[in-house]
Copies of this chain bind each other. A is one copy, B any other.
């Protein structure tokens, strides 16, 4: 390698590892968000964060990194035996660890020379934060023991399939041209699909117990925790999106910009929307959800668009969230106190579809996605319409698969563990006073 290549590779590995640390912070922040929205005293929430992180690192190192990022078998799943468990076991010559290059980082594929530890760290933090999103929907209704078992399966195959299909250069969706910059589908959409499977199973168990409508989880907002959580999540997203270039290049800075602009605009948009609707101060929860909606929507597209497009997308976020929040609140068979569905489901999938509308080829090239055509709004024409079809196909494939595997998993868990539902009002009451 020339000196320049060595230098570029050092930059890329440094950038990805630092961004991984910020994504690690996001999983913590999701835990704090739950505490902020559902009541400070809720210990199970905090313990769940720790379980997710620790199980994530252990299982991803044991096998999950292979199933997601090793060369794919038939385009469907990374070879689970590609490297020995725990990134090569006790071997000292694993490509990409002390020397050499992980197969997909070489010139034949991404050509960015990121080391295996940096890549593993970053992607494992992604997997963990995805499960944390799933966890918020299960909060207070799913047994902690059932959730632990689900976690293991999650990091072996549920998170890994969409990653293998879309982020692995030998995955079938990647091969046909599907792109999802930082995980509108791989993270947010998939989290919502898994969450849907869990709430469906919970609802089936509740129905058997004679409920005609799913009991609402009580919310006990703690403004301090919620604000620190959202702002730290935002800081973490600074790693999540800009790190998804997997390289310290011109695109990484642009992504920081599109990410922060979309979040800021979305906040202003949702607050204005709610104010016009109610003529009242919308309050902290909407402030938080406005920022989050912007961050979610920009995630799959942040590396493909101009800063001005991110502002346009941010403006759309407000009414989009407001409309779908009302839509989902009419559902009587689940309780979504933290807005997983109007936020992560709607926002994530909407963002993925917008790739076909807002992409500008030069921005996509800079982030290493030169196959993407200009979007429909930027003269992409037929190629853009075709891209829309590819993205839609990817959405259907991932949502159906993740929902199905997740449902089978919780169904089996329910069989073995006598149901997955806990009665939080008896087993885990909220404390009378917060802070205990």
Interface residues of A (CB under 8 A from B): 3-4, 6-7, 10-11, 13-15, 17-18, 21-22, 24-25, 28, 31-32, 35, 40-41, 43, 46-47, 49-51, 53-58, 61, 84-93, 97-99, 115-118, 120-121, 144, 222-228, 230-232, 234-235, 238, 242, 248, 250-254, 256-257, 260-261, 263-265, 267-268, 281, 283-284, 287, 291, 306-311, 360-363, 366, 378, 433-436
* Closest chain B residue, CB of each to CB of A58: B264
A265 to B58, CA, bound (A): 6
**Contacts of A253 on B, CB cut-off 8 Å?**
13, 17, 97, 115-118, 121
A287 is contacted by which of B11, B21, B50 (Cβ under 8 Å)? Answer: B50
Whether A250 pairs with B115 at a CB distance below 8 angstroms is yes
A238 is contacted by which of B21, B61, B287 (Cβ under 8 Å)? Answer: B21
Q: Is the interface of A mostly helix, strand, loop or mixed?
A: helix
**Contacts of A47 on B, CB cut-off 8 Å?**
227, 283-284, 287
**Contacts of A17 on B, CB cut-off 8 Å?**
242, 252-253, 256
* Closest chain B residue, CB of each to CB of A265: B58
A108 to B311, CA, bound (A): 33
Chain B nearest CB, measured from A91 CB (Å): 7
Chain B nearest CB, measured from A222 CB (Å): 6
Whether B224 pairs with A97 at a CB distance below 8 angstroms is no
Whether B435 pairs with A224 at a CB distance below 8 angstroms is yes
* Closest chain B residue, CB of each to CB of A92: B362
Whether B222 pairs with A435 at a CB distance below 8 angstroms is yes
Chain B nearest CB, measured from A428 CB (Å): 11
**Contacts of A93 on B, CB cut-off 8 Å?**
362
What are 13 residue pairs bridging A and B, where the CB atoms are less than 8 Å apart in the complex? A4-B6, A10-B11, A24-B238, A28-B232, A35-B224, A46-B224, A46-B284, A49-B227, A53-B231, A87-B257, A98-B366, A121-B260, A224-B225
